Structure 1
Amino acid sequence: MITCVVDYVIDPDKIADFEEFGRRWMQLVNQHGGTHHGYFLPAEGASDRALALFSFPSLAAYEDYRSLFGQDPDFVEADRIRDESGCVLRYDRTFMRPLMP
């Protein structure tokens, strides 16, 4: 299993747009073979940071999912929410593997 951790810098005035963006991506990940663990939004402290965590059974499965970016209309629409609202200022992806008990 591989887990993608996405660290976002967001516009704190556009949290509602970011939540809409996040709901769409949670659906897409789950529909295309992954498990979305959720988005984690500001509660206290820095108000411009958010995280998302989702897993795929393998890097190859993640790459299959990524091949739909810019092609599948549902993926294009989800990106449009982000792009048109400007809710995401920057993001970085890190791939991790879990250490389980």
Structure 2
Amino acid sequence: MTITVFIRYQIDPFKREAFEAYAKNWLSIIPKCGGNLLGYWMPHEGTNNIAFGLISFDSLAAYEAYRARIRADDEGRANFRMAEEERFILGEERTFLRMVA
């Protein structure tokens, strides 16, 4: 069964460009570490401080293995560090979904 991690980010609306750079960095890192990146979405109209990321995995075990790999990856660590230093992510929620149809 495939699961998809739906990540809801609350971002600083004055630092959207920094979040966009962060999201673009994941385009190569996530697949390298075993995730099937469906994409990142940025605010366009309306709410200006909510962004989303979706990543699929074959199982929760595959997700846990991916989390270990991404934390050990040099580029992954650098991207996490940039987010912490620039503080453009104010909150993050993860929901694990399975496809119904």
TM-score if structure 2 supplies the norm length? 0.90
- Per-residue CA shift, 1:13-59, capped at 9, x if unaligned? 11111011111223221112221111111111110000111101111
Offset at 1:3? 0.2
How many residues are treated as equivalent by the alignment?
100
Gaps (5+ residues) in structure 1? none
* Closer/same/farther in 2, CA of residues 30 and 70 from structure 1, 3 Å limit: closer
Shift of the alpha carbon at 1:78? 1.0
Alignment of 1:1-101 (within 5 A): 1-100=2-101
Unaligned runs of 5+ in 2: none
- Cα deviation for residue 69 of structure 1 reads 4.5
What amino acid maps onto 1:52 in structure 2?
Answer: G
Off by >4 Å, runs of 4+ in structure 1 = none
Report the Cα offset of residue 70 of structure 1. Answer: 3.7
Which secondary structure does the structure 2 equivalent of 1:47 belong to?
coil
SS in 1 for 2:69: coil
Task: Give, in angstroms, the shift of residue 71 of structure 1.
Answer: 2.8
In structure 2, the residue corresponding to 1:25 is in which secondary structure? helix
Root mean square deviation, CA, Å: 1.3
CA distance in 2, matches of 1:72, 1:40: 24
Higher helix share: 2
* Distance in 2 separating the partners of 1:81 and 1:22: 11
How far apart in 2 are the matches of 1:18 and 1:49? Answer: 11
Q: For the Cα contact (< 8 Å) 2:9–2:91, is it kept in 1?
A: yes
For the 8 Å contact 2:43–2:51, the answer to whether it is kept is: yes
Q: Partner of 1:55: helix, strand, or coil?
A: strand
